[in-house]
Structure 1
Amino acid sequence: MTQANSSNRAPRPEWDHYSGILRTFVMWNALLAFVVEVAMLVFVGWWALTLDLPWWGRILVAAGAVGALIALWGSFAAPKARFKVATPAVVAVKVVAFASGAVALWGLGFGVAALVYAVVAALNLTVTTYVRRDRKRR
């Protein structure tokens, strides 16, 4: 029996590189990343649905804004992104996306929640970027 080519295997999750309490921390951070990403889409969609437009206009804006964020994220920021770009570019895309979620929440009148969301997203992005760093450069 032959072994599968290593390039065909799925990449290991970032927590596989850690053990003990640090592994648990990285796993919880990955879960938090998912929650922050979904919240971003919900906040932008919610904001669009409150615009002073006819109902069909609000639906179109919400679908377009959320769709644009999904396309941007899937193209550049997702772990299996369509286009591989340097880490600073990935971070920039994520900052823009998370900022749109915070601005949308602010626009809904939830200023404190927007600031809390922005801080949590920034901390999560910092940890995620660190644990996914290129390990060959150590």
Structure 2
Amino acid sequence: MLALAKNANAVLMFFLELGVLASVAYWGFTLSPNWWIKLLAGLGGPALFIAAWALFGAGGGANATIPLTGLARAALEILWFGGGALALYAAGRATPAIVFAAVFVVNAVLRLIWKQV
């Protein structure tokens, strides 16, 4: 049963990662009435997040170009997932931003307890 919960938590982490990208894209497309700015921010924002995650965080660091561990990894995750929550908040979606942040915190605590980090 614990193995199932650990696997579910890992899947949740993946969906949270996708949620960050969706949140940043949503923020970008709501940023301005000018469609060039919407396009640039809506596609460029997630592209920057993807680049940062590929460099430092992919696959829990195992697939990253520059893998981070320990406090550096914790800082990356806080910036990454906090950025997703902040993007939702900046787009005027306070409640989803709070829920997103809370789900990330629960996921992170469980990953620490279960040594999935």
TM-score by length of 2: 0.87
More contact order relative to length (CA 8 Å, sep ≥ 6): 2
Q: Considering only aligned residues, what root-mean-square deviation do their CA atoms show, in Å? A: 1.5
Counterparts of 1:1-138 in structure 2, within 5 Å, are 21-79=1-59, 80-130=63-113, 131-133=115-117
Q: Are 2:31 and 2:91, in contact at CA under 8 Å, matched by a contact in 1?
A: no
AA in 1 matched with 2:102: V
**Same amino acid, percent of matched pairs:** 30
C-alpha deviation, 1:24, in angstroms: 0.4
1:9 corresponds in structure 2 to none
More helix by share: 2
- Looking at structure 2, the residues matched to 85 and 117 of structure 1 have their Cα atoms a distance apart, in angstroms, of 23
Q: Are 2:27 and 2:88, in contact at CA under 8 Å, matched by a contact in 1?
A: yes
C-alpha deviation, 1:132, in angstroms: 2.8
Structure 1 stretches lacking a partner, 5+ long: 1-20, 134-138
Count of aligned pairs: 113
TM-score by length of 1: 0.75
